[in-house]
Amino acid sequence: MVRLADIPEPERSYMAGLECTPYAHKPFTKAVAPALRHVAIVSSAGLIVRGQRPMLSNDVGYRAIGADVEDSDILCSHVSINFDRSGFQQDINVMLPRDRLNELEAEGSIGKAANTHYAFMGATHPDQLEDKAREVGKEMLSLGVNTVVLAPV
Amino acid sequence: MSGLAHYLEDEGLSTVVVALVREHVVKISPPRALWVPFEMGRPFATPNNIGLQQRVLKAALSLLDAPGTEPVLQDFTEEAGNLHDSNWIFPALLSNESVIAEAKSILPSWHKAQTRIGKTTVGVSGLPPETVVEFIDRYFSSDPMPNPKGMALVSRARFAIDDIKLIYFESAFANGGQPSSHQLNEWFWKQTLAGKMILDFQEAARIGDNENLRLISGSLVPPERTYEYT
């Protein structure tokens, strides 16, 4: 697999030109100080926990991935073939850097790494994800999370 | 991801997007975004490169300290480096009698790779790894394998193909080495009977009568080059 810039036409232009409608309303939440940051990761890689139903194309759901879920039980069900999975196969942190986040907590760069991270199907149009995104947002807030790293594929 | 950032910010969470497609974040302009120069599927760079992964994560989180409320887009300039492993070869001699025989002959390497890596990412189809190749090989035959309950047949086929690729790619790491994704793709699609089987399946799905199969046919083979089994 390659970077977007290395994909030949017409696929490159298709991917680069995918509909991305700017939002008229621009919400902005001021960040708290680093020591107070409680950080979760949200991936768009269609990650699931082994045994769960895989995400389908245009899936509007999400999966929660708790700290007790072993790396060996996290699978990728993303519909797209446009990205490499061999990095993820060797090291989950290539897509979901939860070990790196735990290390930042240990060294004091952030206040806390979340116990639960989340995954969506990135191929789904964002408008269709609004309800579940807001649901995940409320859940994270209820768990004390105030900061989110969004990780694509 | 920028769309998710929009909703999460609106709910009261501070977000930072790590972006692989710069064009998309330029269009949507989320509050904070870090573009990274890595291949798609690897937003946090190189497997097991802890230092580089930490630098990406820290660079992303540092954008939370930017003053003001205007959107911030920063480029991460450190490259992942040369990922080509010129010493890598597939660690076993595979049977070329049939795709079923080839799949059977790869299993020892797959088990060895699991021990070495400490995990497997195979399993999304729910089919036993020992029979997943046969499931696809017999799909269009007069004697297809039964589809277990719990998943539509077309979805099962799509995820079975995912699992086949995952088994073969994982097996490639049985003896160590760091083959690039390009090396793995070249090997799998041009030199294995499983790759050829998937190419044939894709073509049959593309021209067949089943609309759902036609829809998935475009998501089975990477788009960046035309593969031909040699």
B1, B21, B124 ranked by CB distance to A77: nearest = B124
Q: Which residues in chain A (53-82) have CB-CB distances under 8 A to chain B?
A: 53-54, 56-57, 70-72, 74-77, 79-82
| pLDDT tens digits, one per residue of A99-148 | 999 999 999 999 999 999 999 998 888 888 999 999 999 999 999 999 99
pLDDT at res. B197: 96
Q: Please tell me whether residue B10 adopts helix, strand or coil conformation.
A: helix
| Distance (Å) from the alpha carbon of B138 to chain A's nearest alpha carbon | 23
Closest Cα in chain A to B32: A28
Closest Cα in chain A to B17: A150
DSSP letters spanning A59-82 = ---EEEEETTS-GGGEEE--S--S
Contact criterion met (CB < 8 Å) for B121 and A83: no
Two structure tokens written together for B222: 């990477």
A32 touches chain B (CB under 8 A): yes
B53, B61, B222 ranked by CB distance to A1: nearest = B222
| Distance (Å) from the alpha carbon of B177 to chain A's nearest alpha carbon | 11
Pairing of strands A116-120, A62-66: antiparallel
Task: Give Rg (Cα) of chain A.
Answer: 16
DSSP letters spanning B112-150 = HHHHHHS-----TT-S-TTTHHHHHHTTTSSSPPPPPTT
pLDDT at res. B170: 97
Give counts: helices (H), strands (E), chain B: 9, 3
Return d(Cα B53, Cα B43) in angstroms, integer: 9
Return d(Cα A4, Cα B25) in angstroms, integer: 14
Return d(Cα B46, Cα B53) in angstroms, integer: 7
- Chain A residues inside the 8 Å CB shell of B217: none
Mutation choice for B interface testing from A13, A29, A121 by most B CBs within 10 A: A29
A152 touches chain B (CB under 8 A): yes
- Name the pLDDT band for A23 (thresholds 50, 70, 90): confident
- Chain B residues inside the 8 Å CB shell of A101: 57
Pairing of strands A47-49, B14-19: unpaired
Task: Give Rg (Cα) of chain B.
Answer: 21
- Helix, strand, coil fractions of chain B, as percent rounded to 5: 50, 5, 45
| Distance (Å) from the alpha carbon of A105 to chain B's nearest alpha carbon | 12
pLDDT at res. A1: 46
Sequential pLDDT tens for chain B (230 residues):
788 999 999 999 999 999 998 988 998 899 999 999 999 899 999 999 999 999 999 999 999 999 999 999 999 999 998 779 999 999 899 999 999 999 999 999 999 999 999 999 999 999 999 999 999 999 999 999 999 999 999 999 999 999 999 999 999 999 999 999 989 999 999 999 999 999 999 999 999 999 999 988 877 776 555 566 66
Bridge partners of residue B207, in order along the sequence? none
B1, B181, B220 ranked by CB distance to A152: nearest = B1
- Name the pLDDT band for A17 (thresholds 50, 70, 90): confident
Return d(Cα A54, Cα A47) in angstroms, integer: 8
Closest Cα in chain B to A137: B8
| B162 closest CA partner among B222, B94, B228, B111 | B222
Q: Going by C-beta distance under 8 Å and a sequence separation of 6 or more, which residues neighbour residue B89?
A: none
Contact criterion met (CB < 8 Å) for A138 and B11: yes
| pLDDT tens digits, one per residue of A24-69 | 888 999 999 999 999 999 999 999 999 999 998 889 999 999 999 9
Contact criterion met (CB < 8 Å) for A4 and B40: yes
Q: Is the pLDDT of residue A4 over 90?
A: no
pLDDT at res. B227: 61
| Distance (Å) from the alpha carbon of A24 to chain B's nearest alpha carbon | 10
Contact criterion met (CB < 8 Å) for A150 and B31: no
Q: Going by C-beta distance under 8 Å and a sequence separation of 6 or more, which residues neighbour residue B207?
A: none
Q: Going by C-beta distance under 8 Å and a sequence separation of 6 or more, which residues neighbour residue A13?
A: none
Among left, alpha and beta (phi > 0; psi -120 to 50; other), residue A2 is beta
The answer to whether residues B160 and B136 touch, using CB atoms and an 8 Å cutoff, is yes
Return d(Cα A62, Cα A47) in angstroms, integer: 9
